[in-house]
Amino acid sequence: MLIKIKMIELIPTQSIYKPNIFFDIDGIVADTRRELSKYCSEKLGLKISSRKLEKTKLSEIVGIPKDKCRKLITDFYLTRQETFETMPGAKYALQKLSKKYNINLISGRPIWSEEPTVRWVEKKLSGLISRVFFSRAHDIETPGYRRTKGEICREFYGEFLVDDDSVYSLECANRGTNVLYFHGDKEIIHPKIIKVLSWQEIMEYGMGRIK
């Protein structure tokens, strides 16, 4: 496995005949919110639905300061990250899409999360993922390399990105990358952004772009 500053290659030889597509990890490929819901129930005694976690920041739901919420999230990833399941329909769709594209994952997870992230990918999506990119967008404590998702997608000629964050979606679209805004809770009007509600829609969009 070849490790570089900004990406980890899981399939060393990329097909030059396949375009690159990008997927956010949390809430897109990994069913993070379902596991976070369970974690909050165990640690805080709160029943929080996965859907509510999509729409509202955790600090606002639990009513604790942001620094304590950040510690809670850190502990969550440290103890539960490798137990996440894939999102319903994700693996099947990625198997289909991998026949026509190089599949890349892209995440803002911090540097300490990179190795367990790769272990999770190799365990759950073995042979499907070409590269894992870390923008380190949320790693405010570690100095060094940072790139936006839009910069990474543009640099590697991303055909499209699938993300559930309106800010990242707009940033990528404004840099010229097509975006599938997955289960997004905000209305975004942009010629390069399409809202999708399922992995079936993602698969149909991707397979329809290349005949």
Q: What is the pLDDT of residues 77-118, one digit of tens each?
A: 999 998 999 999 999 999 999 999 999 999 988 888 888 999
Across 8-23, average pLDDT: 81
DSSP string over 8-37: EESSSS--TTS-EEEEETBTTTB-HHHHHH
Look at residue 135 in the predicted model and tell me its pLDDT: 83
Is 54 a residue whose pLDDT tops 70?
no
**148 and 166 in contact (C-beta within 8 Å)?**
no
What pTM was computed for the model?
0.88
The packing angle between helices 66-80 and 32-44, to 10°, is 110
Q: Which is it for strands 102-107 and 2-3: parallel, antiparallel or unpaired? A: unpaired
Look at residue 32 in the predicted model and tell me its pLDDT: 93
Look at residue 142 in the predicted model and tell me its pLDDT: 52
Is 193 a residue whose pLDDT tops 90?
yes
pLDDT in tens, 137-158: 655 555 555 688 999 999 999 9
Q: Any idea which of 30-34, 51-55, 87-91 has the lowest mean pLDDT?
A: 51-55
